Structure 1
Amino acid sequence: MSENTLQLSPTSRRKTLLGALAGGVGLVAVASGAYWFFYGAHFVSTDNAYAAVEVAQVTPSVGGTISEVLVTDTQAVKQGDILVRIDPTDATLALAQAEADLARAVRRVKGFVANDGSLAAQIAAREADEKRAAAALSAAEADFERARIDLDRRQALAASGSVSGDELTRATNAFAAAQANLDASRAVAAQAKANRSTALSSREANAVLIANATEETNPEVTLARARRDQAAVDLERTVVRAPVDGIVAKRTVQLGQRVQAGMPLLAVVPVQEMHVDANFKEVQLENVHPGQPVKLHADLYGGGVTYHGIVEGFSGGSGAAFSAIPAQNATGNWIKVVQRLPVRIKLDPGEIATHPLKVGLSMTAEIDTRKLN
């Protein structure tokens, strides 16, 4: 202590120390304010954050009896690995039936095509019959006209006795025969015309079945082929495969169990695609935008492991808005509660591979609102 200080009175010395203390406190306050203004105010953090992932539910596309279960809970699987087999007997029989129906449809369509040529030949034959009947009708009309004239002539001569009764009788009989022959020829001509019309209608009906299509593109063949393909797909679906890489969880399926299409069998958790749902207070989100960098820590590893992420987006509503029993804020007994909005944070896949996470683990997240990645 200097000689000047020793000469100060106790009161002066106390004032000097208090002034120094006040200056130090002020300096700390200024430093703290500057730190907060220039740095700390640009960060928002929360410990209300949890690891999450889009879980893949495994359900069968066809029903049947479980014949084999190849995985257990916690087992790691790759996309495409076989998880469960369903007894393929029913699907195999359905495929065999569908293939038989397809072969029958192909033969039926080939019959339609072949029948078209046969019906064309029939039409040509009916046209020839119609022409022949028309010629016969013309001949019958000529015979009838000749018999009529001959009868009229003999009837005119019969009054004078120039024609015998026997000759008149023969002329009358010839006229009657010509009349009958004419009627028969007309009937034959009408039948020939009707037969030709029937043949034309049959060909038109057959043509509708093969119009604007080949044997391969005919609707009957196409329908049968689609049913065959569906049966083949159903048979393939008796083998249930992993939709993504991940860890098996919530396995409920058992050997011998009868399952229906869409029934949950198990879940595959793609832990390599983990993200974080951080629930920030609404008052913290004024300057938070997608693309901003985030530092995260998992309670599993403590502060020694830091994850780096990016803000992906915001939920469409607060947690309270989507709760099972939403708050009734229109009631009289209303108390304002600060709401939290889930923020989705994308994690670095490399860091997840090095330090794996599981769904639901607690996290802390700190967003740097100064910049965008």
Structure 2
Amino acid sequence: MNAPVNNATPEAAAGNPKRKKALITIASVVVLAGLGWAAYDFVVSSHYEDTDNAYVQGNVIQITPQVGGTVMAIMADDTDFVKAGQPLVKLDPADAKLALDQAEANLAQSVRQVRTLYANNSTLAAQVALRTADVTRSQTDIARAQSEVDRANDDLRRRQALTGNGAVSKEELSHAQTQVANAKSGLSNVEAAVAAAQAGVVAAREQLASNQAQTDGTTVEQHPSVLAAAAKVREAYLASQRAGVMSPVDGYVAKRTVQLGQRIAAGTPMMSIIPLNQVWVDANFKEVQLRNIRIGQSVKLTADLYGKKMEYNGTVAGLGVGTGAAFALLPAQNATGNWIKVVQRVPVRIALDPQQLVSNPLRVGLSMNATIDITRQDGKMLADAPRSGVLATLTTPDEQAANAEVQRVISANVGRATAVARVGKSVEAPATLAAVAPVSAVQAQ
């Protein structure tokens, strides 16, 4: 075979070392870059987890009326800043005022009815005493009638003994027998009267016991009927106060939907209040990033609103207990059909520095970039206790004013019996006790 012919020129042969050197240089640069990236990842990047899937969240407090009514005035609009207790919407108070007047009238009537119960104790005790006296008189009449019967029987026996001697006529004997019959008839009438008087005593005692059952152990002010009516007054009073809708917290007005003259029912959304000094960030990290995230780790955040020049300091406050897909309106069903794995994300709540929010306020829904320093691993993955600082409304109904209104109505209708009723007695208590004494004596007999 013929030997291969080398057609390479001397210049090409001379250039191969340069090409080799260039390739070695490029390979060295790539290796050094890889080593540098590996070193950066080990020394720096491995200590941080970051995401741009983060958004500002906050409490969106919905303002709804507790009572229905017609809107008469709107004192706050979108973007306005309101303080806690500041009026937002005023409803027509006419219906609530009428309900309050009716409740107060019912309370006044209940107080007077209860006063009548206490007063009836004296009347019924007197009735018992009167019936008892009737029984005593009837018992005296029985003794007198029995004496008449005995006397008539004696007269009849004497005349019957003299009948055989002719000393007593048949007419006289007949008169004696008639007198005996009349005396026995009178005795029967008296016994019937005694039975009726005793029945009257029993009925009077039952009426007294029934009336005392409604008054024993209580006063006019603490009587169940008065307490029930007083509760209705408090309810109506609070409803009249709720005709003015107040702001529960300091914040900014958003999403006002209520309109002047609108007839709204209780619970209808009218507007929202957002306290921007209490916002936080929900950063949605991939599930592969969660293994080293712990509560209490420090976070650096930047907002698209201010750019990278403004860096917020945050702290991991908690980790979500489910992915976004788990709480979706239509959760994924991966058990049927073709399936493609999608990396899930879990929200991580990040608390912000309140001082930074004052100088650089954020808005709900703004995009954020969050970078968590995962160097510290001494925290917990899930919270084991509730956080402090839960929102609480500063506007509560004035129950003391409602109680004062109830007391005013009671005092105006309790009359002279107030002082005695406080100790569970009526004004005629001494007379009542005196009248009950004979009843006790009769019961002992």
- The 2-side partners of 1:100 and 1:187 are apart by 49
SS at match of 1:346: strand
Alpha-carbon distance, 1:81 to partner: 0.6
SS at match of 1:303: strand
Query: Which of these residues, 38, 50, 62, is aligned with residue 67 of structure 2?
Result: 62
> Which amino acid is 1:64 matched to?
G
- The 1-side partners of 2:349 and 2:144 are apart by 100
1:197 matched to 2:194? The reply is no
Give the aligned length: 365
Query: Which of these residues, 152, 156, 173, is aligned with residue 151 of structure 1?
Result: 156
For 2:277, the equivalent position in structure 1 comes to 272
- The 2-side partners of 1:40 and 1:357 are apart by 28
SS at match of 2:214: helix
SS at match of 1:341: strand
> Which amino acid is 1:287 matched to?
N
SS at match of 1:51: strand
Query: Which of these residues, 362, 370, 373, is aligned with residue 375 of structure 2?
Result: 370
Query: Which of these residues, 62, 82, 86, is aligned with residue 87 of structure 2?
Result: 82
Structure 1 segment 13-28 matched on structure 2, within 5 A? 26-28=31-33
For 1:223, the equivalent position in structure 2 comes to 228
Query: Which of these residues, 309, 312, 329, is aligned with residue 334 of structure 2?
Result: 329
For 1:138, the equivalent position in structure 2 comes to 143
Query: Which of these residues, 162, 183, 194, is aligned with residue 188 of structure 2?
Result: 183
- The 2-side partners of 1:24 and 1:259 are apart by 74
- The 2-side partners of 1:116 and 1:186 are apart by 30
- The 1-side partners of 2:46 and 2:327 are apart by 30
Structure 1 segment 277-316 matched on structure 2, within 5 A? 277-316=282-321
Alpha-carbon distance, 1:164 to partner: 2.2
User: How big is each residue's C-alpha offset from its partner over 1:164-219, in whole Å with a ceiling of 9 and x where there is no partner?
Assistant: 23322331222122112111111111111111111111111111211222111110
Query: Which of these residues, 217, 238, 244, is aligned with residue 239 of structure 1?
Result: 244
Alpha-carbon distance, 1:14 to partner: 7.6
For 2:133, the equivalent position in structure 1 comes to 128
SS at match of 2:362: coil
User: How big is each residue's C-alpha offset from its partner over 1:268-317, in whole Å with a ceiling of 9 and x where there is no partner?
Assistant: 11111111111111111011122221111111111111111111222231
- The 2-side partners of 1:31 and 1:145 are apart by 141
User: How big is each residue's C-alpha offset from its partner over 1:224-268, in whole Å with a ceiling of 9 and x where there is no partner?
Assistant: 110001000000000001111111111111111111111111111
Say which is worse superposed, 26-35 or 298-307, in terms of deviation. 26-35
SS at match of 2:272: strand
For 2:402, the equivalent position in structure 1 comes to none
Runs of 4 or more off by more than 4 Å in structure 1? 9-28
Say which is worse superposed, 234-243 or 272-281, in terms of deviation. 272-281
> Which amino acid is 2:325 matched to?
A
- The 2-side partners of 1:158 and 1:306 are apart by 141
- The 2-side partners of 1:26 and 1:42 are apart by 23
Alpha-carbon distance, 1:138 to partner: 2.4
Query: Which of these residues, 206, 212, 232, is aligned with residue 217 of structure 2?
Result: 212
- The 2-side partners of 1:139 and 1:35 are apart by 129
Change (3 A) 1:157 1:39: farther
> Which amino acid is 2:303 matched to?
A
- The 1-side partners of 2:282 and 2:80 are apart by 25
- The 1-side partners of 2:113 and 2:271 are apart by 46
Alpha-carbon distance, 1:328 to partner: 1.0
- The 1-side partners of 2:239 and 2:204 are apart by 45
Alpha-carbon distance, 1:56 to partner: 0.6
> Which amino acid is 1:352 matched to?
L
- The 2-side partners of 1:151 and 1:289 are apart by 121
Query: Which of these residues, 246, 250, 256, is aligned with residue 251 of structure 1?
Result: 256
Say which is worse superposed, 138-147 or 102-111, in terms of deviation. 138-147
Identity across aligned pairs (percent)? Answer: 47
For 1:318, the equivalent position in structure 2 comes to 323
RMSD between superposed Cα atoms in Å? 2.1
- The 2-side partners of 1:368 and 1:159 are apart by 142
User: How big is each residue's C-alpha offset from its partner over 1:13-53, in whole Å with a ceiling of 9 and x where there is no partner?
Assistant: 88778767766655554443233223321211111111111
1:47 matched to 2:52? The reply is yes
> Which amino acid is 1:174 matched to?
Q
- The 1-side partners of 2:72 and 2:101 are apart by 21
> Which amino acid is 1:329 matched to?
N
User: How big is each residue's C-alpha offset from its partner over 1:308-351, in whole Å with a ceiling of 9 and x where there is no partner?
Assistant: 11112222311111112111110131111110111111111111
- The 2-side partners of 1:286 and 1:167 are apart by 131
- The 2-side partners of 1:39 and 1:212 are apart by 80
Alpha-carbon distance, 1:150 to partner: 2.6
Query: Which of these residues, 97, 107, 111, is aligned with residue 112 of structure 2?
Result: 107
Query: Which of these residues, 34, 43, 68, is aligned with residue 39 of structure 2?
Result: 34
1:353 matched to 2:358? The reply is yes
SS at match of 1:338: coil
For 1:71, the equivalent position in structure 2 comes to 76
> Which amino acid is 1:251 matched to?
R
SS at match of 2:152: helix
SS at match of 2:120: helix
SS at match of 1:233: helix
Change (3 A) 1:334 1:13: closer
User: How big is each residue's C-alpha offset from its partner over 1:44-91, in whole Å with a ceiling of 9 and x where there is no partner?
Assistant: 111111111121111111111111111111111111110000010111
Say which is worse superposed, 32-41 or 327-336, in terms of deviation. 32-41
Alpha-carbon distance, 1:12 to partner: 7.4
SS at match of 1:304: strand
In structure 2, runs of 5+ residues without a counterpart are 1-13, 380-445
- The 1-side partners of 2:210 and 2:249 are apart by 53
